[in-house]
Structure 1
């Protein structure tokens, strides 16, 4: 009997020693994995094919992969914020400097009434530009981050197009630019009238800005099987083929357009808005022969 108890005691002692050894091995493995995670080194999978340690090492590697994705995402967001702040500073630097300059000029008591009205007009235009840049930047960020959500609907495109034309008519008239809208039947397209009007307004404003005085901007609507195309054709300087995809990127400005006021936001906003409506925009242009911007919107079923 004593031999039996002695045998059991030896087995228990051996098992306890083995468990202690196994716990130490597991602790060392867990400690190593934690060190690898903290030092951003690849987590080494345990040599054991099965068991809790192998499962734990697999989960540790998954945790590290997720952590790396979050760090990478945070770095990208930080870089985007940095770029946004830099571009905002660049966009606002000139108009703010002009506002300050015109304000100082207007403090001169010797200005005539005509000169005062002249510089007040310049001051107003600069403040309007600042307001437009800030509003456009806010819309851009909110659209990019899906903060703004808007639903399209089956709506007649004529009132939407008319709203866009009316918004830039005065600017076109000042340059003696004629806007021709070719006749087309009532056409119901899936879109958000307010946002689509803003996208079309941005395209028309660019057409007016880069077209010579006395020229014509033509608007055509062409229905197809699944989409309808709204063409805006100008008689401006045109765009190089190499730039036709670049112009829709955020803050991009063509070197040829450096003499004109602009922010590089308008066309990017057009692209964002149309993507939200499951539509898209393209451009076809020849340098010296004008450009045609085409907006594609889904036909109503």
Structure 2
């Protein structure tokens, strides 16, 4: 309390008044003592009232600040560098205001991201849904040939599978963004991870007669979630298979060192234009060489899964010379 400048000033004033009263008591006749006591009391009461009024004015000012902040004026700066509880209170109010400003900015960004996501989703769903509505109308036509009927039915089935994959991927991304997924921290063999990820792509690679080369340390492993990491690797490998021509080569290497475990995936495909490289992990981004069926979400999901497990992924590519994806899972420091 003594560190408070206002309290020190009040004590100084009261002490000075008391000291003057003592001096006058010795200098003036004995009969003047009642008047000295009365004057001392009045002066002390006046000093306390002035101090209390001043304190209430300061508190009223702070109340005004709080009302302005609650009304949305979070840019208000009430800090000061004086000592005392009022200055401490001002600084605490400023800290709370800064926290509110950060939360408000974060909520605004989340709202913008949600609006963008809804817009992107509606855009991605609009095309296949419209296509299916048209084909469904055509299927009801009495003069439709059996060949066309089978073609339209097959197209509707393809579009439904595309929508199912899109919705499933978006749900996975949303769960990761919301932090509702707890990734396991278990030893995962890189060879097992690669083998699991290649299973769904065996037929597409066989159809395109692509050559697959897998090499690396059999003992290489990392601490993570096998199923989710396999999901990420499938999306990356699927991208390589789609952009590598028939007869092309896909090479996968696994390695481990004291700092990290890594998987390097290289293809002999068409490559990625330099202007597209910074954006290929963004949601719904479609490069200039993307296929018509691409929705631009597979690599974004892969990036999110890997980085959520203390990993990193980068890409190097040259048009006409293929693409190299490098995935690294860093060791935890104990």
Contact 1:177/1:213, CA 8 A, preserved across alignment: yes
**Which of 108, 114, 117 is the equivalent residue of 2:147?**
114
- List runs of 5+ in structure 2 lacking aligned partners: 1-32
CA distance in 2, matches of 1:268, 1:100: 29
Contact 2:213/2:249, CA 8 A, preserved across alignment: no
CA distance in 2, matches of 1:180, 1:219: 8
Q: How far did residue 5 of structure 1 move?
A: 5.4
Q: Give the match's secondary structure for 1:214.
A: coil
Instruction: Say whether 1:283 aligns with 2:281.
Output: no
Q: Give the match's secondary structure for 1:294.
A: strand
What residue number does 1:216 align with? 249
CA distance in 2, matches of 1:165, 1:189: 17
What is the 5 A alignment of 1:111-150? 111-150=144-183
CA distance in 2, matches of 1:98, 1:196: 34
Contact 1:43/1:57, CA 8 A, preserved across alignment: no
CA distance in 2, matches of 1:44, 1:220: 59
CA distance in 2, matches of 1:297, 1:43: 44
Change (3 A) 1:58 1:218: closer
Contact 1:177/1:208, CA 8 A, preserved across alignment: no
What residue number does 2:236 align with? 203
**Which of 37, 40, 64 is the equivalent residue of 2:74?**
40
Instruction: Say whether 1:3 aligns with 2:31.
Output: no
Q: How far did residue 20 of structure 1 move?
A: 4.7
TM norm structure 2: 0.79
- RMSD of aligned residue pairs (Cα, Å): 2.7
**Structure with greater contact order relative to length (CA < 8 Å, sep ≥ 6):** 1
CA distance in 1, matches of 2:276, 2:95: 42
Contact 2:253/2:264, CA 8 A, preserved across alignment: yes
CA distance in 2, matches of 1:278, 1:177: 35
**Which of 212, 216, 219 is the equivalent residue of 1:180?**
212
Contact 2:211/2:247, CA 8 A, preserved across alignment: no
The range that moved more, 63-72 or 150-159, is 150-159
CA distance in 2, matches of 1:211, 1:260: 16
Number of residue pairs the alignment of both structures matches:
298
- List runs of 5+ in structure 1 lacking aligned partners: none
CA distance in 1, matches of 2:261, 2:202: 24
CA offsets 1:176-209 (integer angstroms, 9 cap, x no match):
2324133445234113221121111101111122
What residue number does 2:25 align with? none
What residue number does 1:261 align with? 293
* Max Rg structure: 2
Contact 1:46/1:54, CA 8 A, preserved across alignment: yes
Instruction: Say whether 1:270 aligns with 2:296.
Output: no
**Which of 60, 67, 72 is the equivalent residue of 2:93?**
60
Change (3 A) 1:179 1:291: same
Q: How far did residue 24 of structure 1 move?
A: 4.1
What residue number does 1:194 align with? 227
**Which of 124, 127, 130 is the equivalent residue of 1:91?**
124
TM norm structure 1: 0.87
**Which of 6, 11, 14 is the equivalent residue of 2:46?**
14
The range that moved more, 88-97 or 31-40, is 31-40
Q: Give the match's secondary structure for 1:264.
A: coil
What residue number does 2:7 align with? none
What residue number does 1:25 align with? 57
